[in-house]
Every structure is written in C-alpha cells, then in structure tokens.
C-alpha cells in the first residue's frame, strides 16, 4: 500500500468481520447487541473481527467461544458478502456446535427463531442482507 493510501485510511481499516449462523431444531440463533448505543437492542448473528494472522474460520471459532461459551466448527459460507466501506467486508458462515450450550456472555440475550419469527426481529442493518438466505435455510430444515 502506498503512503497516500495509508494516510487515506486504506489498509489499516481493511479487515474482515465474520458472523455465525447456528441452526438447531428448525431455528436460528440470534444475539441481541449491548453496544454501541446506536446498535444496542438490535439483533445479529454473533461474530466479530478477524485479527491479523487469523483465518476467518479460526476467528469465528474464537469469537463464538468468547461470546457464547461454545466450541464450534466453522462450516460453509451463507449469504452474500456485505461491503461495509473502507475495504471492510462482513461474511457469514454456517457453524456447528461441538460442545456447550450457547450463553449470552457478551450480548443482552439470545433467541432461537424460526422462519415465521425471523422477520419480527429488529436485525442490525449490516446483517439484513442475509435474511433471504437464512429464511431459505430455515424453511428447508
Ligand atoms: O461484535 P463486535 O463489536 O466485535 O463487532 C465488530 C464490528 O462488526 C462492529 O462494527 C459490528 O457492527 C460489526 N458486526 C456486524 N454484524 C455482525 C457482527 C458484527 O455488522 N453480525
């Protein structure tokens, strides 16, 4: 990257954010954010930032261990890439729980939602692009 790009906020801001779609018994796990204030109370697929030298899969497994207290295995992609600007991209993956029961360690609460309920939840804008794919998956289960 050029010095000019660095000054413009290019590479330092270019990172991937990963989120996990956990399905069980025909339902999807949603998590209610507690921060920042403008997103508090809204629902998301849990996840977070991929750190340097981490694969997206390992980052998601780490994030879900931290946020939900579960051991997971990251599976295939679901939904579209969501461009967040300044080179940041948000991607969702299907995730299987290997051990543990999800707990709201870093969220206000968790909810298991079916296809009928999903559209009643106030999803964060970034995650709304995935709703059609999540509904397709829920209706297939
Ligand atoms: O959860 P955390 O604050 O670590 O997430 C880092 C960034 O990723 C935030 O800007 C958050 O809005 C975004 N994010 C998102 N959708 C998710 C998970 C995180 O847009 N499902």
User: 111: which residues sit within 8 A by CB, 6+ positions away?
Assistant: 29, 30, 31, 32, 43, 121
**pLDDT of amino acid 9:** 44
**pLDDT above 90 coverage of the chain, percent:** 89
State the distance from the centre of ligand 1 to the C-alpha of 117, rounded, in angstroms.
22
Query: pLDDT band at residue 76, thresholds of 50, 70 and 90?
Result: very high
Average pLDDT over residues 60-68: 98
State the distance from the centre of ligand 1 to the C-alpha of 47, rounded, in angstroms.
7
- Counting atoms of ligand 1 from 1, which one is nearest the CA of 63? 4
Average pLDDT over residues 8-30: 86
> How confident is the model over 22-58, as pLDDT tens digits?
999 999 999 999 999 999 999 999 999 999 999 999 9
* Residue 7 pLDDT > 90: no
Ligand 1 pocket member 90 (CB < 6 A): yes
Distance CA 112, CA 102 (A): 10
Instruction: Characterize 106-131 residue by residue with b for buried, 16 or more Cβ atoms within 10 angstroms of its Cβ, and e for exposed.
Output: bbeebbebebeebeeeebbebbebbe
Ligand 1 pocket member 126 (CB < 6 A): yes
ipTM above 0.90, yes or no: yes
Distance CA 112, CA 78 (A): 18
> How confident is the model over 84-116, as pLDDT tens digits?
999 999 999 999 999 999 999 999 999 999 999
Ligand 1 pocket member 73 (CB < 6 A): no
**pLDDT of amino acid 24:** 97
* Residue 8 pLDDT > 80: no
């Amino acid at each position: 990257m050029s010095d000019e790009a660095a000054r413009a906020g290019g590479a330092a801001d270019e990172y991937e954010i990963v989120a996990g779609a956990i399905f069980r018994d025909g339902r999807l796990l949603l998590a209610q954010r507690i921060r920042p204030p403008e997103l508090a109370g809204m629902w998301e697929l849990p996840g977070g930032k991929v750190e340097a030298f981490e694969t997206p899969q390992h980052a998601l497994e780490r994030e879900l261990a931290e946020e939900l207290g579960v051991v997971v295995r990251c599976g295939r992609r679901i939904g579209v890439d969501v461009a967040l600007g300044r080179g940041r991209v948000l991607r969702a993956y299907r995730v299987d729980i290997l051990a543990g029961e999800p707990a709201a360690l870093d969220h206000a609460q968790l909810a298991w939602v079916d296809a009928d309920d999903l559209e009643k939840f106030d999803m964060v804008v970034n995650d709304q692009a995935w709703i059609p794919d999540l509904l397709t998956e829920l209706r297939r289960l």
